[in-house]
Amino acid sequence: MIFAGLACGLLMTPAVATPQQTVPQPDQEPAQYVQPSLPFDGMWEGIIHFDKEAFLTPTGTPDKGLKYRLEISGLVVRVFIEEDSKFVEVKPGLFHIAPVETNAVFFASEAAPDSWVESVVFTATQRDAKTLIVQLVRVVNNRSLPLDDKQSKFAARGAGDFSKVAP
């Protein structure tokens, strides 16, 4: 119960980026090369290829994957999905960012009263200055549908490389 309250509090408060530090480990040799942390700001595009072994809904996980765009400016994150050759924003104004050095989590949750609850999480790491490795997880609970309906509860997960297409 404490976790549920904590999770609600985290999702309801504005995102605040706090610098994170790598914790030194005792008896650890100094690294020969350390990848620099770069800002995530910019426009990134890529195709998420879905894992067909996950607990999925067939309509939400096409075989060819789905093209996404992430637009990031500081703490502002906008997510788009390509539909009919146009990018359409997903959950406008709801995405938050939690960056830590070369990694970041972009997340949003929303609900319709007495109907459905949906959470979407993108996890990313910087492959290099122009490429992100991105994983997507989406879970949906359609509380108004009977439990035996396949659209009642489902999840989708996938991954792909995103390229920086604009600063």
Q: What is the pLDDT along the chain (167 residues), one digit of tens a residue?
A: 343 443 444 444 444 445 455 566 667 676 677 888 889 999 999 999 988 766 666 555 666 889 999 999 999 999 999 999 999 999 999 999 999 999 999 999 999 988 999 999 999 999 999 999 999 999 999 999 999 988 888 888 999 999 999 98
Which 3 state secondary structure label does DSSP give 69? strand
Domain total in the chain: 1
Q: Is residue 57 part of a domain?
A: yes
Residues near 79 by beta carbon (within 8 Å), at least 6 away in sequence: 68, 69, 70, 71, 89, 90, 91, 95, 106, 108, 120, 122
Q: Is residue 156 part of a domain?
A: yes
Strand partners, 154: 140
Say if CB 49 and CB 159 are below 8 A apart: yes
Q: Is residue 18 part of a domain?
A: no
90: CATH: 2.40.128
Q: Is residue 117 part of a domain?
A: yes
Distance CA 127, CA 129 (A): 7
Q: Is residue 140 part of a domain?
A: yes
Range of the structural domain that residue 82 is part of: 41-166
Distance CA 99, CA 106 (A): 8
Q: Is residue 12 part of a domain?
A: no
